[in-house]
Amino acid sequence: MNENNLLDEKFTNILFETIPDMLAILDKNGKILFCNSQFVKNSRFEKKELIGMIAPVDLVHKDDREKALSAFEQVVTEGIHLNVQLNVIRKDKTVFPSLWSGSVLKDKSETVQGYLITGKDLTVIDNLKNELKQLSTQKFNEHLLTIGELSARLSHDIRNPLGIIRMAIENMHNAKNKPDGFEASIERCNRSIDRITHQINDVMDFVRQKPLTLTNNYFLEILNSSILSMNIPKSIKIIKPKDDFVLYCDPEQIQVVFSNLILNSIQALSQNGQIDISILQNNDSMEIIFADSGIPIPEKIMPKIFEPLFTTKQMGTGLGLVSCKTIIESHGGSIRVKNNPTRFEITLPKPIIH
C-alpha cells in the first residue's frame, strides 16, 4: 500500500471509525476539525456540534482545564504528550474520567498542520475498581467478623484462668510468714497478668464495633476511673488538671482511650517519670493532652504510629493506638502525636449544654 492510499480520505475514515478509542484532529488553535463516532458516543454531542469546539477548554471539566491546556501546550512545543488523565464534560453535563494523548501532525515539508488527540473512557475501569474495592471490603469485613468471634472466645477462655490466678496471688499476698523476695515475685506476677489483660483488651477493642452512647460526662470522673483501673508504678507521678470540664461522649469508650494513652506513657517512661494530663476549652472544641517526660518518639515512625499492628514493643499488639484513633474519630474528633515533650493531643467537639 503506497503513501497516497494511506492519506486517502476514505481509508482514513475507515481507520478512525474502527479504532475503539476517541479520536479527533485539531487545528493549530486546538479547535476540533474532525472526530470519530466513538468521540460522539462518549461526549453525547452530535458531530456537527463538536466541530469548532476548543477541545482542551470546551470539553474539559473546569477543575482539569489548566492541566488540559498545559498538556496541549506540551504537544505544541514537544510534538507529543502521553497519558494525561482528565475529567470530560458530556452534553448532558455529566462527567466521565478519561485518559488522553496527543501528537503533532505535519505535512511532507515538516510544516505543522494540526494535532491528533486520542482518548480512552475510564468509566468502565473505574467501575471495576470500585466493584473490586467493595468486594475487598466485604471480604475484609467477613474476615474481621471471624477474627472478632475467635477473639471473643479466646478472651473468655483466657480471662477466666487469669481471674483465678489473680485471686490466688491475692491470697498468697495476704498470707503470713512470707519468705524473702516474696513481695517482688507477687509484683512481677501482677504485672504479667496486667500485661496479658491489656493485650486481650487491645484486641477486643479493635475487633468489636460498639455503637456510641453519648451523654454529658465530667472529664475528671472518666480520667479517675481510668487511673483506678490500672496498676500505676509508685515511681511514676500523674499530674491531673485542677479544673473540670464536661465532655459529650461515650464514657466507657473514652476511658479506653485514656487508659491506653496512660499505659503508653508508663511503658515509654520505663517505670520512672511523670505524666502530665491537661484539658483546654476553645470556642468550639475541647483539647486534651497526655504528655510524659520520656524520650521523644523517633520522627521516622511518627507517620506509622496509628497503623494497625505497628508496634515498637516486644509484647505489644499494635492495636491500642488504632483503637484510640477509631474511638476519637467516631466522636467527631481527632488525635495526633507530637514531640518536645512527647504528647498525644485529642480534640473533641465542645458539648452543647442547655
CATH number at residue 76: 3.30.450.20
Residue 332 included in any domain: yes
Domain count, the chain: 2
The whole-angstrom separation of Cα 153 and Cα 201 is 13
Supply the DSSP symbol for 339. Answer: T
197: which residues sit within 8 A by CB, 6+ positions away?
A: 159, 162
Domain of residue 20: give its range.
3-122
Shared domain check, 216 and 103: no
Of 122, 154, 171, which residue sits at a domain end?
122
DSSP letters, 150-168, are HHHHHHHHHHHHHHHHHHH
Helix axes 320-330, 182-207, angle to 10 degrees: 50
Residue 199 included in any domain: no
Instruction: Report the predicted TM-score, pTM, of the whole model to 2 decimal places.
Output: 0.49
pLDDT in tens, the chain (354 residues): 444 444 456 666 777 777 788 999 999 889 999 899 999 999 999 999 999 999 888 999 999 999 999 999 999 999 888 888 999 999 999 999 998 999 998 888 888 889 999 988 888 777 767 766 776 667 666 666 666 665 666 655 566 666 667 777 777 767 667 777 777 777 777 666 666 665 666 666 665 667 788 899 999 999 999 898 787 888 899 999 998 999 999 998 899 899 889 988 888 887 688 999 999 988 889 999 999 988 888 888 888 888 877 676 655 566 778 888 988 998 999 999 998 888 999 999 988 665
Of 99, 122, 145, which residue sits at a domain end?
122
Of 72, 95, 122, which residue sits at a domain end?
122
Q: Where do we find the cell 512470707?
A: 178
CATH number at residue 224: 3.30.565.10
Supply the DSSP symbol for 54. Answer: B
Shared domain check, 345 and 221: yes
User: SS3 for 310?
Assistant: coil
Q: So what's the pLDDT on residue 206?
A: 62
Shared domain check, 333 and 233: yes
Residue 78 included in any domain: yes
96: which residues sit within 8 A by CB, 6+ positions away?
A: 42, 87, 88, 90, 121, 122, 123
Residue 170 included in any domain: no
Shared domain check, 228 and 110: no
For residue 223 the three cell numbers come to: 480520667
Residue 322 included in any domain: yes
Shared domain check, 339 and 214: yes
Identify which of 291, 275, 286 has the alpha carbon closest to the alpha carbon of residue 217. 286
Residue 77 included in any domain: yes
Sign, CA dihedral 62-66-71-74, equals positive
Q: Which helix (H) or strand (E) holds 19?
A: none
Residue 229 included in any domain: yes
Residue 310 included in any domain: yes
Shared domain check, 215 and 117: no
Shared domain check, 224 and 98: no
